[in-house]
């Protein structure tokens, strides 16, 4: 699909898990660009507060991405109040960290429910609306963990590999239409989701605003792969071309493979409990 420049003012964007973190930063960037923004979050009170703080006609809608009917209601209300959907940002996600052998089945299921089915529900509900008008863009927030498996976050990495794969497949299915798919892959972002992780040595942690700016650029000029920061793009491409033993050796030497493996458990305790068990686990914070 050819790149084209898109004027954003007036366009309608719905963002999942947008009460805080990357979702909030993206909502703020979109509102600042003149877009009409709908924030969806399971924590409605926080979503309403965020919408009020952002102003510019931003609306807040209750949303549980694990429930497809809830996703449909979110998009229905967005369109009823703001107009036809132009952009869906599938952002909601959780990242409990623990060695795979120590991870409970319930924690693994919750990651799959939110990180996998949440994205599927958004795509399945948004795409028919967009295809009917032959216009629109879906932005799926994946992660560098969608290209590299990180020790300490095996299930999380698996869910983000899924996001990359389903994005690639959907893009192929949409070829010939004007509907775009974008897959955003940040490194570690400073949000509650990454609390307690050691600072990056070679690749520094980034801010939610950095991801939001990259998303906004991809809305103005649609493209499929968006790495944040951009400087990691050649590293990912080079790594993909290397034989597995060499790629793993480089990762160990640079300690990239330990990005998720040594968190401060005390600092992460509150987030881990909420992400694994609580009903308000969709915190809108991503990545890596």
Q: Is 271 a catalytic residue?
A: no
Residue 285 included in any domain: no
Residue 4 included in any domain: no
Residue 3 included in any domain: no
How many structural domains compose the chain?
1
- As a dihedral over the C-alpha atoms of residue 223, residue 224, residue 230, residue 236, rounded to 10 degrees, the angle is -150
CATH of the domain at 77: 3.40.50.720
Residue 146 included in any domain: yes
Least confidently predicted of 89-98, 160-169, 278-287: 278-287
Higher-pLDDT residue of 208, 192: 208
Q: Where are the beta strands (DSSP E) in the chain?
A: 12-16, 36-41, 59-62, 87-90, 136-141, 179-186, 225-228
pLDDT in tens, 111-169: 999 999 999 999 999 999 999 999 999 999 999 999 988 899 999 999 999 999 999 99
Q: What is the pLDDT of residue 285?
A: 41
Tell me how far CA of residue 117 lies from CA of 182, 214, 217, 247, in angstroms: 18, 24, 27, 31
pTM: 0.90
Q: Active site residue: 74, 150, 156, 271, which one?
A: 156
Domain region containing 120: 12-277
pLDDT in tens, 162-193: 999 999 999 999 999 999 999 999 998 988 88
Q: What is the pLDDT of residue 280?
A: 42
């Amino acid at each position: 699909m050819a790149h084209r420049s898109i004027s954003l003012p007036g366009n309608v964007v719905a963002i999942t898990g947008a009460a805080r973190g990357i979702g909030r930063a993206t909502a703020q960037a979109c509102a600042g660009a003149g877009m009409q923004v709908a924030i969806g979050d399971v924590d409605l009170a926080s979503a309403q507060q965020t919408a009020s703080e952002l102003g510019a006609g931003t609306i807040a809608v209750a949303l549980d991405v694990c429930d497809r009917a809830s996703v449909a209601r979110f998009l229905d209300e967005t369109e009823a109040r703001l107009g036809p959907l132009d952009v869906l940002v599938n952002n909601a996600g959780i990242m409990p960290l623990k060695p795979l052998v120590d991870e409970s089945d319930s924690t693994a299921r919750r990651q799959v429910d939110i990180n996998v089915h949440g994205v599927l529900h958004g795509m399945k509900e948004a795409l028919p609306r967009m295809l009917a008008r032959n216009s629109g863009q879906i932005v799926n927030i994946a992660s560098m963990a969608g290209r590299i498996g990180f020790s300490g976050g095996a299930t999380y990495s698996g869910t983000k590999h899924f996001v990359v794969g389903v994005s690639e497949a959907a893009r192929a299915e949409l070829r010939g239409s004007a509907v775009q798919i974008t897959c955003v892959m940040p490194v570690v972002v400073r949000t509650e989701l990454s609390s307690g992780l050691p600072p990056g040595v070679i690749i520094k942690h980034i801010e939610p605003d950095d991801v939001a700016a990259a998303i906004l650029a991809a809305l103005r000029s649609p493209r499929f792969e968006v790495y944040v920061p951009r400087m990691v793009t050649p590293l990912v491409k080079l790594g993909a071309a290397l034989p597995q033993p060499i790629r793993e050796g480089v990762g160990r030497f640079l300690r990239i493979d330990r990005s998720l493996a040594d968190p401060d458990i005390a600092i992460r305790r509150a987030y881990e409990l909420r992400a694994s068990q609580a009903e308000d686990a969709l915190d809108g914070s991503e990545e890596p």
